[in-house]
C-alpha cells in the first residue's frame, strides 16, 4: 500500500511535468514509438494478409510464420538486434515490429475469410473485377477484423515498448529502469501505472473505431432482439369455473 501511495505522489508531483524527461514528454515518445512501429508492421503485414485472404494461398505458411514470430522472446530478440545494430532506437523498432506483425496479419486475412463466399460470388457475377472485389467488397467487410488485429498489436506494443529503454533513453520504460537502478519503487510503479493507463485509453479508442467501421448494411441486417426464446409450451391453467365443470 505504501508503494501505491508513493507511486501516486510521484505521478502528481509537479516537478515531473517540465523538461525533456517529464511525464508528458515520455508519454509523447511512447506514443510516437508505438505509432511508427504499427505503421511499419502494417505496411508489411496488411498486403500479405489481403493476398492470403483473397486468394487462399499461403495460409498454412502464414499461420506457421505468425506462430513462430509470436514465440520469439522479445527481450532476447531486442538484445540480439541491439548487438547487431548498436545502441539506439533501431533495435527496438525491429524487435517490436516483428512482434506486431502476427496479429495484424491474422486480422487482415481472417477478415477476408469471414466474408460469406456467396457475397463474393455475387460480386463476381455482376461483372466486378478482382481488384474491385477486393477494394469494394472484401476490404470494407473485413475491416472490423483488421482493426481488431491492429488493436491487439497496439496493446502488445504499448506494453512491450517499455523495453525500448533497455538500450535507449526513450519512452515510459525509462522510469522503470531508473527506478530499478536507484531502488525507487514509487517511480517504478508510477511508470507502470502510466503504461497501463495509456494502454486502456488506446484500447477504448480502438474499440470505438472497430465499431464505427462496421458497414451500415451489416448493422442494418442484424436483428434487434437476438435472445433465443424457449420453444417449450407454457402450461395452461384452466379457470376455476371450467375446472368445476369437469
Q: Does residue 243 carry a pLDDT above 60?
A: no
Q: Are 170 and 88 in contact (CB under 8 A)?
A: no
Q: What is the pLDDT of residue 230?
A: 43
Domains in the chain with CATH codes: 22-215 (1.10.3720.10)
Q: What is the pLDDT of residue 240?
A: 47
Half-sphere exposure for 146 (CA within 13 Å, toward CB): 26
Q: Are 48 and 225 in contact (CB under 8 A)?
A: no
* Range name among 75-79, 195-199, 216-220 with the lowest pLDDT average: 216-220
Q: How confident is the model at residue 222 (pLDDT cuts 50, 70, 90)?
A: low
CA distance 152 to 77: 20
* Residue burial 173-207, b: 16+ Cβ < 10 Å; e: rest: bbbbbbbeeeeeebbbbbbbbbbeebbeebeeebe
Q: What is the pLDDT of residue 89?
A: 74
The residue to which cell 512491450 is assigned: 160
CA distance 151 to 240: 62
Compute the average pLDDT of residues 217-226.
52
Compute the average pLDDT of residues 24-46.
93
Query: pLDDT above 70 covers what percent of the chain?
Result: 86
CA distance 206 to 138: 21
Q: Does residue 226 carry a pLDDT above 50?
A: no
Q: What is the pLDDT of residue 219?
A: 59
Q: What is the pLDDT of residue 40?
A: 94
CA distance 57 to 12: 53
Q: Does residue 83 carry a pLDDT above 90?
A: no
What integer best gives the mean pLDDT of the chain?
A: 81
C-alpha cell at 77: 530478440
Q: Is the model more confident about 83 or about 4?
A: 4
Within a 10 A sphere around the Cβ of 91, how many other Cβ atoms? 24
The residue to which cell 494478409 is assigned: 49
Give the N- to C-terminal CA distance of the chain in Å, as an integer.
74
By C-alpha distance, which of 170, 13, 11 is closest to 90? 170
Compute the average pLDDT of residues 101-116.
90
* pLDDT tens readout for residues 126-177: 888 889 899 888 899 999 999 999 999 999 899 888 888 877 778 888 888 8
Compute the average pLDDT of residues 78-101.
81
Amino acid at each position: 500500500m505504501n508503494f501505491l501511495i508513493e507511486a501516486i505522489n510521484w505521478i502528481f508531483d509537479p516537478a515531473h511535468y517540465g523538461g525533456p524527461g517529464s511525464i508528458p514528454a515520455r508519454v509523447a515518445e511512447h506514443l510516437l514509438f508505438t505509432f511508427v512501429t504499427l505503421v511499419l508492421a502494417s505496411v508489411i503485414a496488411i498486403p500479405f494478409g489481403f493476398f492470403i485472404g483473397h486468394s487462399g494461398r499461403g495460409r498454412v505458411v502464414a499461420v506457421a510464420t505468425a506462430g513462430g514470430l509470436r514465440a520469439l522472446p522479445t527481450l532476447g530478440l531486442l538484445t540480439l538486434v541491439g548487438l547487431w545494430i548498436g545502441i539506439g532506437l533501431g533495435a527496438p523498432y525491429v524487435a517490436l515490429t516483428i512482434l506486431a506483425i502476427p496479429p495484424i496479419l491474422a486480422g487482415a486475412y481472417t477478415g477476408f475469410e469471414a466474408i460469406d463466399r456467396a457475397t463474393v460470388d455475387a460480386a463476381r457475377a455482376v461483372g466486378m473485377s478482382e481488384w474491385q472485389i477486393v477494394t469494394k467488397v472484401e476490404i470494407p467487410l473485413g475491416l472490423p477484423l483488421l482493426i481488431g488485429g491492429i488493436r491487439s498489436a497496439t496493446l502488445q506494443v504499448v506494453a512491450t515498448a517499455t523495453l525500448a529503454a533497455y538500450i535507449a533513453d526513450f519512452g515510459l520504460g525509462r522510469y522503470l529502469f531508473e527506478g530499478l537502478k536507484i531502488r525507487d519503487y514509487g517511480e517504478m510503479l508510477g511508470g507502470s501505472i502510466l503504461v497501463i493507463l495509456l494502454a486502456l485509453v488506446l484500447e477504448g479508442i480502438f474499440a470505438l473505431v472497430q465499431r464505427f467501421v462496421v458497414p451500415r448494411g451489416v448493422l442494418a441486417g442484424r436483428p434487434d432482439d437476438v435472445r433465443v426464446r424457449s420453444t417449450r409450451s407454457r402450461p395452461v391453467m384452466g379457470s376455476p369455473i371450467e375446472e368445476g365443470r369437469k
